Structure 1
Amino acid sequence: MQLFDFSLKVNGFDINKAKAALAEIQSKNDIEFEAYLQNQRKAIISHHLEHNSFYKSLGTSIDINDWNSVPIMTKSHLQQPLEQRLSDGFNTKNVYVNKTSGSSGDPFIFAKDKWCHALTWAEIMNRFGWYGIDFNSSKQARFYGIPLDKKGYYKERIKDYFSNRFRFSVFDLSDDAFENTLAKFKTTNFDYINGYTSSIVQFAKYLKRKNIILKSACPSLKACVVTSEMLFDDDKLLLETQFGLPVINEYGASELDLIAFQNIKDEWQLNSETLYIEILDENNTILPYGEEGRIVITSLYNKAHPFIRYDIGDIGILSKNSTIKNPILKKLIGRTNDIVVLPSGKKAAGLTFYYITKSVIENDGNVSEFIVEQSLLDTFKISYVSKIELSEAEKTSIKKEVIRYLEPNITINFKRVNELKRSKSGKLKQFTSHLK
């Protein structure tokens, strides 16, 4: 039984139709594909100008025949309740709703219509299929976060069951935890690894200390797919050596789609089927292949919520070998998270702070940006931009979450600021460790 496809269908995502639509897009020749992109760009803009009051107010100067007249959207535009950003005919009950991780420091709630989300899954399944991974039959070893509240915890575990995966928590990266992780690999026929780069790298370092090759402990493994954080060349070499597997680099954004996936030629192939991706300079001028600039993305199918010329906050370079149908991402700058080190010696992924700060990321859009900095083993500072200051009750709630996810005797200081200092790439790094 194709359990994964079945679970998507039950939730209203027509995956079979989406797979067929994706195959039809991929079958187009170069001339047909260029026409397809132009038509789809016009169609999605026209839809939102007619049916989305939020986008109408943003796009008052748009000339439908002049792509350069289309304004750039940023995350700051989206710091308002979701209901004010939805198109006519859509509400929170008939769309897919989720939150961004906040890894860039700009968390917000977003929505996709169900057809758009079905196409997202078709795209993901297509790319993983390049490596013989079938979501209906391949067992996944998942290195991701998981909510610790009972409802959220069991909801994710149920999703994991239907998705044929086992989740390893990234909140504890100690040797004791990795010993249990290794034991699970020895007794389970996992087909592939998927998850946060930094956590998987920490596991590989543990294996190196123990002089263990993971493929020897779990012969069924085929590949390792890392996501959400930068994969550096030395870390990739470490993973390939200690896992004995091909290491595949994925780049995506939950509010959009899978953006790029390493193909079997070792190229970072961009998703040109459901997204339109541009590289722009500081004046919003489209740059030629080979030049470094801001990554700006248009979601071609999301009718529920506009993501049109959306500045994702990353800097990148398209390869000079790119074509309209087959663009290649030569380099991505940014998207890296440090490891949290605690007084007990315990380590955790920097993205742990997404789960800790989740309680203050409410739909009212009060907190628009935040960063977390570690100055001492037991001292952290949360700097945030908000309409009103966090209450003492909210601060206490966050402190309790820190203890629950990490360990006791941690000092959390809060600082409300007018703006947060950005990195050279223009992004906010959610977690920074100042420990030497």
Structure 2
Amino acid sequence: MLPLFDLSLQFNGYPIQEAKAELQKITAFTISEKERFIESKKKEIVAFHLNNNPFYQELVGTKSFNNWTELPILNKQNLQKPLTERLSNGFSIKNVYVNKTSGSSGDPFVFARDKFSHALFWASTAFRFGWYGVDLNTSYQARFYGIPMDFMGYQKERIKDFLGKRFRLPIFDLSDPVLEKFLRHFKTKKFDYINGYTSSIVLFAKFLQQKNIILIDVCPSLKACMVTSEMLFEEDKKLLEKQLGIPIINEYGASELDIIAFQNPEGEWQVNAETLFVEILDENGTVLPYGKKGRIVITSLFNKAHPFIRYDIGDIGILDKKSTVHKPILKQLIGRTNDVAILPSGKKAPGLTFYYITKSIIEDDGNVKEFTIKQTTIDTFIIKYVSDIVLSQPQIKKIEEAITLYLEPNLKFSFIQKDTLKRNKRGKLKQFKSMV
């Protein structure tokens, strides 16, 4: 079979074979070789941008540096200027890969990768998917994603799906009749794996649970399910494993960077130390030791078109104490830095705290399919939920008691039943939002 995916990348000027060879070389390094490689790539990428990128020169304020930790932290607000003002010398819109972030953090922007760096992005993805017997050239993907609704954007995505051996299941409408159609596709097509947004696949699994169907029974060709872009809760993972009947692999990535962490076959959330360098920093920008919670800051080691050096991605996480430079392990991804609720007492609580508490109570009977939480004022929250039956007063009281116990008393909640929840234009579900 022709490797259509690789050929399409090569045809568009992305040197995928060279990128695969580079990645193979990196993954074959000994521990000490890998550590030396990372240190040399860090110095090399900074030196390149200090000499060739006026935007980065201005940010740093000097053309040389002595200490890595003295380099400024790049944030998304820094990047909200025209892309042409951020590209390195020798690069233009015509000779780079250009895309935009989803804006799920509230700060969308357009970014670029040079052609080798973009090929390396796909080589890195292919390498990790390969841990589970998935080949991007030959394996057939069931894709739970959004799709552009304008004519050109729609056609472009469909062509990319064809070349990438993907069958797209658009997730803007996830009502039961639509999920029934999804199920029919699994009954008639030989999918090798599932890939897509966590919340959508979880909703499909709940639909399967209601119908008492295990997906592998109707689609025995399935090998694995990769969930991405949204938090995967432990209870949801158990549900997916049970209803899909295949390994559930947790992916954490960013469109502007690469896969950041990918669950390896040993069940660890292994950080990408081949194309990225990941640090955990405190609020003052100090590097934290393994095991401590802080801001996730990432350096793209290969992207020469656009600097992503000590880039604060907007997430909070913990690197496991057993991490090494050669093999970092992400112990926990806690959420986004902007998803924090400030309470009347002055206490700051990650929005996911509400989500965990509420989820553990209202999902016991399987009635509530999805919900979101919005903080409208310092003491007021709106919980919108999709369910067959309206929440009862005892259920609401139980949620309020749990929130008082875990957070603080006298917070006000209103519960609104909806037929569907609004997703962003890419199909992501923003689970907590603070207007304060």
Q: TM-score, normalised by structure 1?
A: 0.78
Distance in 2 between the 1:54 and 1:294 partners? 23
Aligned to 1:115: 116
Letter in 2 for 1:244: G
SS in 1 for 2:159: helix
Alpha-carbon offset, residue 87 of structure 1? 0.4
Equivalent position of 2:185 in the other structure: 184
Superposition deviation, residue 64 in structure 1: 2.5
Measured after TM superposition, the shift of residue 321 of structure 1 is 1.0
Residues 268 and 62 (structure 1), Cα distance of their counterparts in 2 relative to 1, 3 Å cut: farther
Give the aligned partner of residue 128 of structure 1.
129
- The answer to whether the 8 Å contact 2:143/2:196 transfers is yes
Note if 1:307 corresponds to 2:308: yes
Alignment of 1:244-259 (within 5 A): 244-259=245-260
Partners of 2:142 and 2:66 in 1: CA distance = 47
Equivalences for residues 195-274 of structure 1 within 5 A: 195-274=196-275
Contiguous gaps of at least 5 residues in structure 1: 339-346, 351-372, 378-405, 411-428
Asked if the contact 2:47–2:64 (Cα under 8 Å) also holds between the matched residues in 1, the reply is no
- In the alignment, what sits opposite 2:81? 80
Following TM superposition, where does structure 1 have runs of at least 4 consecutive aligned residues deviating by more than 6 angstroms? 347-350, 373-377
Contact 1:138/1:190 (CA < 8 Å) preserved in 2? yes
The secondary structure found in structure 2 opposite 1:7 is: helix
Q: Is the 8 A contact 2:6 2:137 kept in 1?
A: yes
Aligned residue type for 2:220: P
The residue that corresponds to 2:395 in the other structure is none
| 1:163 counterpart letter in structure 2 | G
Please state if 1:279 is matched with 2:258. Answer: no
Deviation at 1:102, TM superposition (A): 0.7
Count matched residues: 360
The match for 2:366 is: none
Contact 1:3 1:162 in 2 (8 A): yes
Residue identity opposite 1:290 in structure 2: G
> The residue matched to 2:307 in structure 1 has which SS?
coil
Question: What residue number does 2:12 align with?
Answer: 11
Query: Do structure 1's residue 168 and structure 2's residue 179 form an aligned pair?
Result: no
Residue 433 and residue 53 in structure 1: after superposition, are their counterparts in 2 closer, same or farther (change >3 A)? closer
Distance 1:269 1:322 in 2: 9
Report sequence identity in percent: 60
CA distance in 2, matches of 1:348, 1:87: 44
Please give the secondary structure, in 1, of the residue aligned with 2:77.
helix
Is the aligned partner of 1:105 residue 2:89? no
- Residue 347 (structure 2) aligns with: none
Identify which range, 235-244 or 150-159, moves more after superposition: 150-159
Equivalence for 2:415: none
Query: What is the TM-score when the length of structure 2 is the normalising length?
Result: 0.78
Q: CA–CA distance in 1 between the matches of 2:64 and 2:285?
A: 16
Q: Residue 375 of structure 1: CA displacement?
A: 7.8
Give the whole-Å Cα distance in 1 for the aligned partners of 2:252 and 2:291: 19
Give the 5 Å matches for 1:25-44: 25-44=26-45
Q: Look up the SS of the partner of 1:199 in the other structure.
A: helix
String of CA shifts for 1:136-174, please: whole Å, max 9, x gaps: 110000000001111111110110000001000110110
Q: Do the aligned partners of residues 375 and 233 (structure 1) sit closer, same or farther apart at CA in structure 2, a change above 3 Å counting? A: closer
Distance in 2 (alpha carbons) for counterparts of 1:62 and 1:119: 27
The two structures, once aligned, show a CA RMSD in angstroms of 2.6
Deviation at 1:185, TM superposition (A): 0.4
Q: Secondary structure at the match of 1:77?
A: coil
Distance change >3 Å, CA 430–CA 220, structure 1 → 2: closer
How has the CA–CA distance of structure 1 residues 433 and 179 changed in structure 2, closer, same or farther, with 3 Å as cutoff? farther
Note if contact 2:50-2:64 (Cα within 8 Å) is conserved in structure 1: no
Query: Cα offset for 1:34?
Result: 1.4
Would you say the 8 A contact 1:171–1:349 is kept in 2? no
Q: Which whole-Å CA distance do the structure 2 matches of 1:152 and 1:407 have between them?
A: 28
Report SS of the residue matched to 2:259: strand
1:410-425 matched pairs, under 5 angstroms: none
Give the secondary structure class of the aligned counterpart of 2:191: coil
Q: Answer yes or no: is the 8 Å Cα contact 2:280–2:319 preserved in 1.
A: yes
Corresponding residue SS for 1:287: coil
Gap regions ≥5 residues in structure 2: 337-350, 356-368, 373-380, 386-417, 423-428
CA distance in 2, matches of 1:283, 1:433: 25
Q: Structure 2 CA distance, aligned partners of 1:124 and 1:136?
A: 12
* Cα distance in 2 for residues equivalent to 1:320 and 1:375: 36
- Return closer, same or farther for 1:157/1:348 CA change in 2, 3 Å cut-off: farther
Question: Structure 2: how far apart are the matches of 1:171 and 1:348?
Answer: 14
Distance across 2 between alignment mates of 1:308 and 1:38: 13
Contact 1:250 1:262 (8 Å CA) reproduced: yes
Instruction: State whether residues 147 and 170 of structure 2, in contact with CA within 8 Å, keep that contact through their aligned partners in structure 1.
Output: yes
Determine the C-alpha separation between the residues in 2 that align with 1:221 and 1:298: 35
CA contact (8 A) 1:3 1:163 kept: yes
CA gap 1:278/1:48 in 2 versus in 1, 3 angstroms: same
